[in-house]
Structure 1
Amino acid sequence: MTLDNNIYLYNLPYEIIFFILKKLDNMDILYSLFGMNHRLDNIIQDKIFTTMLNFVSISSLTNDISSISDRMLDRFCYNVLPRIHYNVKHLILESTSMGRILHAGSYPNLTELKLFNFNQEIIPRYFIDDSHLQHIYNQINDLTLISNENNTEMHSKDYTNNIYTVALNLFKNLTHLTIAGAFNKDYPPFSLDNLSLNMFSSTLTKLSIRVNIFNDCLALLDGHLQQLTTFIVYVNSIVYESSPSYMLNNDLPSLKVFSLTSYDDTDQYDMLVVPLLQRMLNLEELTLYLRVTRRTIFIDGTHIYNKILIHMLQLHTFTFYISSEKRIEVLPLRLSNSDIQRTFTNTLNRQVVCSVHYFSDFDNICHVFSLPFTFDHLEKISNHFPNMIFNSVTYLTLYDIIPFQYKFFVQIAQAFPLLNYLSINNDEPPSLNIYNSRFIDKSWLTIEYPYLTSLDLSFAHIYYINQFLNEKKTILPSLSELIVDYERLKVVTKNFTREKTRRNCATVKRLSVKGSINLENVYRYFPLLLNYECCPNYI
């Protein structure tokens, strides 16, 4: 009796093969095994392997234009999809491969579509001229569009009418709609009016979008989307607009989940935001990210409960970050972190952090937020901000009138491990000579920000410019955008000859400076530079 040591996958019992394949990536299974063996074909055609197909490559998710090879994609579209399309319920696609994949089958059970790299170029190709896909669009009830357009020259209202309206008019039966930007970047927002509201299906129960102004948010809640239960909205600007007039007195009984995020500061919180929240009587989950200015008192736990939470008897989840700034010449009382903390007695058992900083008698700020912290932005962080880990934050601005010490930047690098954008606003240096090695503590470690791509030093003292560009102090392996004062940049780089600052400048592709520059020196020192801006005022 001899023992055969060559045991192949297709020789194993069905249950074991099924268990192994379930542990593998769905696309890996279909790419590698389909067509090899009749028995394997039957197994991988099981709906558990073909319910969701993801055609978005890892490279595309890291902002690389490369994708699945055309040869492999063609093989999949011609040989695989026609045999399994009836099982597919979810598709995740890139716009470049959208046509070939959707034309490879009729997808009678497809109900969810997620499209990456959505832009105005695909509108005529797939949403206007390609009528063969209409039957697929009609059956989609869950649509996600991930835009890759940033700083488009088209006005937001024109983009809404010419792009969003055209696209959404094809999807007649949507219940869930999400439109977002790729890689945490801005994308063209909706700019709504009474006519463009018709683009949204009246059957929508979940909507997640970005709008231009707060009036756009009010328009969407003015009775057109009566079935809406979940509304996630990012507002570019919360400002007062005198017209048009929307129904501000009617309650919103259907709304169960509401999320409002606005990164720009606003002085219209009490006039616009609070009245809207008070209409949401049946809300169960609330998320707020707000930066409020020009108040006479800080927003604390007492205010949040009396003005907002007391109106929401069904609320069980409250996630928030709210900063409030007071700008008055005479302060009656300086409240401490503990004073603010004691006001949070009714926050649905969520742990709350409070941080108050007084920059001057007329410039002070209070940050209050729930834990765990889930937002990607933090602004105007000072020396006294609590030392804790913020794994979700990618965008950070620092501001203080007290110098930032070396240990503060060590804390920042540790507290914000995924930092992508950093701005420093501080014109007060530590009392050290930036070029005198006698003042350098030999125990200092080089600080690294591995994911930092954009650095704004336009309002930073020359000390901090040296701190970040000097490779002996800071390593910035991913830096691609630098915003800085040109004269100070010249000093720190010793007129673009200093070796210690060359490494952190070598990866920069976009440079924004104030004043005129010497192009020859700049391009020599920034070898990857693609464009530059000479700004009379900083952006």
Structure 2
Amino acid sequence: MNQSNINLLDLPNEILFIILKKLDNIDVLYSLLGIDNQRLDTIIQENIFTNTLNFVLTTLTDNIYSITDPILNRFCINILPKIHNNVKSLILDSISMEKILLAGDYPNLTQVKIFNFNEKILSRYFTDQSPFRRIFQEQITDLILIFEKNINKILEEFNTINLYTYVFNFFINLKYLSITGLFPYPFPHLNCRQLPITICLCSTLYKLSLDVPSLVDCYALLDGRLKQLTILILNIAMLNCRISNIYNMDDLPNLKCFSLKGFNCFIDSYDNKILPLLRRMLNLEELTLYFTVVNRTTFIDGTSIYNEILVYMPRLNKFNFGICTEIIVINNLIHRLSKDDIQRTFTNIIFQQVECIVTYSCRRGKCYVFSLPFMFNDLDYIGNRFPTIIFTYVRSLKLEDEVPFEHEFFIRIAWSFPLLEKLSIMNLKRQSSIAKKLNCDDNQLYSIVKFPYLTSIFFCDVHNDYVEQFLNDTKTHLPCLTKLTIVCNQLQLMTENFTRDRTRLNCINVRQLLNLGEPIVHSEDFYVYFPLLKPSVFF
């Protein structure tokens, strides 16, 4: 081993295998497979892709938008035909889907995720006449359909009832079905109560993930038609509803995992609909809850969660939750519970750490209780008081307070929410004069707040200071801002009628400008200020 001209292929197979395992699988595929070396090809195919090909194809197709045609062509012509027998999972996009499917027979393919799903895919691939009928109808057990953007168009052209009817009837071996929209775009919800009971009698389906409009649809799904279901994941648009139909209310002994995420619900819906539903799940092992309950007289704390939910689930071993309670504060003299008071009530919840946020205004009290790590994409209406932790999964955040948001607050926000994409701000209190003096344009000692992934800002009932805080590039750096919702008068004022240089940089990538006030006169300066803005996306 003292030779100076040792190359990669001089190493024994065992060491080559260790090296290749350390590399990114796509790099290995594209750089090393098919270089006319049979020994290296054999090592790659037999030792790497036999066990990890699911990840390889996921990595390739999940980034399909960044893959050029020559690269995709090489995968489809030179690589996929050699490894297609090992492929168990594919993530596809509607643009490149057919080219990838034609590259091999995929006899072991059982899992498919399709981005940008649409009606053309339904009629092209999910039919008895499709050249891929064998793959989809007979082999696929796990199907994930993800709709992207253009939701209004889909709502007009796409019949969701027909979609679900077709999917349930066509995929005869389906075990897992998920139909949703890519964050932050929701998929048109399915009215499960409108589905004939016969189309949901899929005897093999054990896992289901759907967006539904109402809690009624949850009751409809659990009326006995899916007795074999063990995992149910639901995003519910409206938790407040009247359940006029009489649904089967038997226990759900086969259900092992249940997730319910929604928005605001009144105390009646929580007490009389959500809690009775949860108590039917006697053998539940995993539970996820995320919603806000309004108009209560007391906060939902650890004691109430244990006594009203967990005591009915003796087999539960994993509980992720984010529950917010809003109460009406009638008498300012009543005792106000602190964060420590709420924290002490979680002695019976032993599954993981728990955090809480407690805030009071002149009329409302609000209490967030949530498990750690925080596992949800959005967090609504937090103020100056929030725990010093990193919310890794949060992409959408709403800020609201009756106390000013100072510059340091936004530094904390940027640190705590590193992957933030959407931000909404509500605060009519002006920043302090001291903070404004420290944060003036020529002060180089004040840190610039950086939001590297923020694409959308919604200024709703805000003081001018917060528009200045975000649009001034000496205070905040917004390299990816593409959508801005703002009152036109504030925008004109802070940009000095679209001539101010200090606010130009953070506006230069905006492609959608939503106006909350009087129409803006589209001057020449306006279009120079927003060079990517098209008249059709300005409202």
Question: Structure 2-normalised TM-score?
Answer: 0.89
In 2, Cα distance between equivalents of 1:302 and 1:407: 35
Cα pair distance change 1:466/1:133, threshold 3 Å: same
- Equivalent residue runs for 1:374-413 within 5 Å: 374-413=375-414
The residue number in structure 1 matching 2:371 is: 370
The residue number in structure 1 matching 2:113 is: 114
Query: 1:465 Cα shift?
Result: 0.8
Query: What per-residue deviation string (whole Å, max 9, x for no partner) do you get for residues 391-412 of structure 1?
Result: 2211111111122222222221
Report the identity percentage: 46
In 2, Cα distance between equivalents of 1:437 and 1:407: 11
Query: 1:481 Cα shift?
Result: 0.6
Do 2:216 and 2:243's aligned partners in 1 also have CA atoms closer than 8 Å?
Answer: no
Of stretches 140-149 and 157-166 in structure 1, the one that deviates more from structure 2 is 157-166
The residue number in structure 2 matching 1:518 is: 521
Q: Is 1:423 the counterpart of 2:424 in the alignment?
A: yes
Query: 1:456 Cα shift?
Result: 0.7
Query: 1:376 Cα shift?
Result: 1.8
Q: Is 1:190 the counterpart of 2:193 in the alignment?
A: no
Q: Which runs of 5+ in 2 are unaligned?
A: none
Do 1:22 and 1:49's aligned partners in 2 also have CA atoms closer than 8 Å?
Answer: no
Do 2:406 and 2:435's aligned partners in 1 also have CA atoms closer than 8 Å?
Answer: no
**Match of 1:46, SS?**
helix
In 2, Cα distance between equivalents of 1:438 and 1:230: 51
Amino acid at match of 2:460: S
The residue number in structure 1 matching 2:533 is: 529
Do 2:406 and 2:432's aligned partners in 1 also have CA atoms closer than 8 Å?
Answer: no
Q: Is 1:223 the counterpart of 2:224 in the alignment?
A: yes
Q: Is 1:252 the counterpart of 2:256 in the alignment?
A: no
Amino acid at match of 1:483: T
The residue number in structure 1 matching 2:41 is: 41
- Equivalent residue runs for 1:52-91 within 5 Å: 52-53=53-54, 54-55=56-57, 61=63, 66-91=65-90
- Equivalent residue runs for 1:236-247 within 5 Å: 236-247=237-248
Q: 461, 476, 480: which one pairs with 1:459?
A: 461
Query: What per-residue deviation string (whole Å, max 9, x for no partner) do you get for residues 468-517 of structure 1?
Result: 11112111111111111111111111121111111111111110112211
Cα pair distance change 1:279/1:494, threshold 3 Å: same
Name the structure where helix makes up a greater proportion of residues. Answer: 2
In 1, Cα distance between equivalents of 2:373 and 2:156: 34
**Match of 1:92, SS?**
strand
Cα pair distance change 1:375/1:200, threshold 3 Å: farther
The residue number in structure 1 matching 2:480 is: 478
The residue number in structure 2 matching 1:298 is: 299
The residue number in structure 1 matching 2:123 is: 124
The residue number in structure 2 matching 1:175 is: 175
Query: What per-residue deviation string (whole Å, max 9, x for no partner) do you get for residues 115-149 of structure 1?
Result: 23323332222223752211111111122223223
**Match of 2:193, SS?**
coil
The residue number in structure 2 matching 1:505 is: 507
Q: 345, 352, 355: which one pairs with 1:353?
A: 355
Cα pair distance change 1:99/1:158, threshold 3 Å: closer
Amino acid at match of 1:365: K
Query: 1:87 Cα shift?
Result: 2.6
Cα pair distance change 1:45/1:383, threshold 3 Å: closer
The residue number in structure 2 matching 1:100 is: 99
Cα pair distance change 1:14/1:448, threshold 3 Å: closer
In 2, Cα distance between equivalents of 1:121 and 1:186: 20
Query: 1:264 Cα shift?
Result: 4.7
Amino acid at match of 1:384: R
In 2, Cα distance between equivalents of 1:347 and 1:157: 47
Query: What per-residue deviation string (whole Å, max 9, x for no partner) do you get for residues 67-110 of structure 1?
Result: 43334434443444344333322222222222222233332222
Cα pair distance change 1:343/1:5, threshold 3 Å: closer
Amino acid at match of 2:287: L
Q: 493, 500, 508: which one pairs with 1:491?
A: 493
In 2, Cα distance between equivalents of 1:288 and 1:179: 20
Cα pair distance change 1:345/1:253, threshold 3 Å: same
Amino acid at match of 2:325: S
The residue number in structure 1 matching 2:20 is: 21
Query: RMSD of the TM alignment (CA)?
Result: 2.9
In 1, Cα distance between equivalents of 2:163 and 2:491: 42
Query: 1:187 Cα shift?
Result: 2.6
Cα pair distance change 1:35/1:276, threshold 3 Å: same
Amino acid at match of 2:423: L
Do 2:318 and 2:351's aligned partners in 1 also have CA atoms closer than 8 Å?
Answer: no
In 1, Cα distance between equivalents of 2:278 and 2:156: 26
Do 1:156 and 1:189's aligned partners in 2 also have CA atoms closer than 8 Å?
Answer: no
In 2, Cα distance between equivalents of 1:441 and 1:356: 37
In 1, Cα distance between equivalents of 2:435 and 2:201: 58
Of stretches 167-176 and 433-442 in structure 1, the one that deviates more from structure 2 is 433-442
In 2, Cα distance between equivalents of 1:108 and 1:349: 41
Do 2:439 and 2:475's aligned partners in 1 also have CA atoms closer than 8 Å?
Answer: no
Cα pair distance change 1:155/1:341, threshold 3 Å: same
In 1, Cα distance between equivalents of 2:117 and 2:392: 28
Amino acid at match of 1:523: Y
Query: 1:217 Cα shift?
Result: 1.7
**Match of 2:174, SS?**
coil
Amino acid at match of 2:530: F
In 2, Cα distance between equivalents of 1:323 and 1:479: 29
In 1, Cα distance between equivalents of 2:12 and 2:351: 51
Cα pair distance change 1:431/1:11, threshold 3 Å: closer
Query: 1:424 Cα shift?
Result: 0.8
Amino acid at match of 2:522: L
Cα pair distance change 1:261/1:444, threshold 3 Å: same
Amino acid at match of 1:524: V
Amino acid at match of 1:17: L
Cα pair distance change 1:107/1:47, threshold 3 Å: farther
Do 1:55 and 1:94's aligned partners in 2 also have CA atoms closer than 8 Å?
Answer: no
Of stretches 218-227 and 81-90 in structure 1, the one that deviates more from structure 2 is 81-90
Of stretches 376-385 and 69-78 in structure 1, the one that deviates more from structure 2 is 69-78
Cα pair distance change 1:69/1:431, threshold 3 Å: closer
In 1, Cα distance between equivalents of 2:402 and 2:327: 16
Of stretches 476-485 and 440-449 in structure 1, the one that deviates more from structure 2 is 440-449
Question: Structure 1-normalised TM-score?
Answer: 0.89
